[in-house]
């Protein structure tokens, strides 16, 4: 993908963040934050922001940066289809992930072999592999080649991830250093409420999955124990691999958002122990829906919890 095409793709992703309520009108948007979120350098992000300024959707203030404008153009008129054509890089990445899930490629591979298989440039392959590294299922071998890791590759591994989360997420709320953060609570309430209003029906699956993971990562951050957060981020990235071949259960997402909002209400009232128990029930429900029997019956239907 060319630099210009990448910038145009980022324009669309930024627009989705605004339309979904992740970025609010008047909010200061840092290019480094977006670069980290999209896994790219700051150069195409800055170019994308400049495009949005020219379109009248962002303000650029001298020595202050970029700000979201409150304009009707942000209204999302039509639902976004889960089967909308992905970008070229996204399509190549999904092919790589699917091939690994279905054992069509070996666990140790050379870059030349991968470039020939997927007919991509060195730059495109690098982007694909770096994303696999970020999501926890690939690593560079010492000296030469790549190793693909057998994480969250089966329904059993997916279930093990949820059992691990059942242990750490409720426990994190009972840590001595746990302290409800009003800024996190208010921001997550805004995102979850916006999803219930319009987002679940209209946003693409990738965005819904991100919002679900973000909710749990932001809450565990309040434990002030970095090891809880690091562990959750790691397993969330691992489970993404199986989600590439699944469909989003949008009806189930309504229940999950309601659960999320109820947990936020408990935390805001200072009822931390009750919030911990609510989190346990919430994750138990998600685990039950992902049992081996449910998995085969629903053809691996999953949601964004």
Q: How confident is the model over 84-133, as pLDDT tens digits? A: 344 556 788 888 988 988 889 999 999 999 999 999 888 888 888 887 88
What does the pLDDT read at residue 87? 52
Domain boundaries, the chain: 3-74, 88-148, 155-297
Q: Could you give the angle at the alpha carbon of 185 between the alpha carbons of 181 and 186, nearest 5°?
A: 120
Name the DSSP class of 81.
Answer: P
Please check whether the two domains, 3-74 and 155-297, share a CATH topology: no
Q: How confident is the model over 8-58, as pLDDT tens digits? A: 778 877 887 787 667 878 889 888 888 877 767 888 889 889 988 988 889
What does the pLDDT read at residue 84? 38
Query: Residue 173's pLDDT band (boundaries 50, 70, 90)?
Result: very high
Query: Residue 170's pLDDT band (boundaries 50, 70, 90)?
Result: very high
Q: How confident is the model over 185-207, as pLDDT tens digits? A: 998 998 899 888 877 877 777 77
How many other β-carbons are positioned within 10 Å of the β-carbon of residue 57? 19
CATH class, 155-297 region: mainly alpha
Report in angstroms the alpha-carbon separations of 216 from 167, 186, 213, 235: 13, 14, 5, 12
Name the DSSP class of 141.
Answer: P
Name residues whose C-beta falls within 8 Å of residue 42's C-beta, 6 or more positions apart in sequence. Answer: 31, 32, 35
Tokens standing for 257?
A: 């958002």
3-74, what's its fold?
Answer: Arc Repressor Mutant, subunit A (1.10.10)
Tokens standing for 126?
A: 């690098």
What CATH code is assigned to 88-148? 1.10.10
Name the DSSP class of 135.
Answer: T
Asked whether the beta carbons of 284 and 225 are under 8 A apart, the reply is no
Name residues whose C-beta falls within 8 Å of residue 268's C-beta, 6 or more positions apart in sequence. Answer: 180, 182, 185
Q: What is the pTM of this model?
A: 0.67
């Amino acid at each position: 993908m060319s630099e210009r095409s990448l910038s145009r793709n980022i324009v669309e992703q930024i627009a989705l963040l605004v339309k979904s309520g992740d970025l609010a009108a008047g909010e200061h948007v840092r290019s480094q934050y977006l670069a980290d979120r999209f896994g790219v350098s700051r150069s195409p992000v800055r170019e994308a922001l400049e495009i949005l300024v020219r379109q009248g959707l962002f303000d650029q203030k001298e020595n202050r940066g970029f700000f979201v404008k409150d304009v009707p153009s942000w209204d999302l008129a039509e639902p976004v289809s889960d089967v909308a054509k992905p970008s070229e890089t996204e399509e190549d990445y999904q092919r790589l992930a699917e091939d690994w899930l279905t054992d069509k490629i070996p666990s140790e591979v050379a870059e030349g072999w991968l470039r020939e298989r997927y007919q991509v440039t060195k730059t495109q392959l690098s982007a694909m592999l770096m994303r696999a590294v970020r999501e926890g299922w690939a690593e560079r071998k010492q000296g030469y080649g790549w190793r693909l890791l057998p994480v969250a590759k089966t329904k059993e591994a997916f279930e093990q991830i949820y059992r691990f989360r059942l242990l750490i997420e409720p426990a994190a709320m009972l840590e001595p250093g746990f302290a409800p953060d009003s800024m996190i609570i208010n921001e997550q309430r805004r995102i979850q409420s916006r999803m219930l209003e319009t987002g679940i029906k209209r946003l693409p699956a990738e965005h819904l999955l991100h919002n679900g993971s973000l909710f749990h990562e932001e809450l565990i951050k309040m434990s002030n124990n970095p090891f809880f957060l690091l562990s959750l981020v790691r397993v969330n990235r691992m489970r993404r691999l199986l989600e590439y071949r699944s469909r989003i259960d949008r009806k189930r997402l309504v229940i999950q958002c309601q659960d999320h909002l109820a947990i936020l209400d408990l935390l805001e009232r200072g009822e931390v122990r009750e919030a911990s128990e609510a989190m346990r029930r919430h994750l138990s429900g998600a685990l039950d829906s992902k049992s081996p029997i449910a998995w085969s019956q629903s053809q691996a239907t999953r949601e964004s919890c």
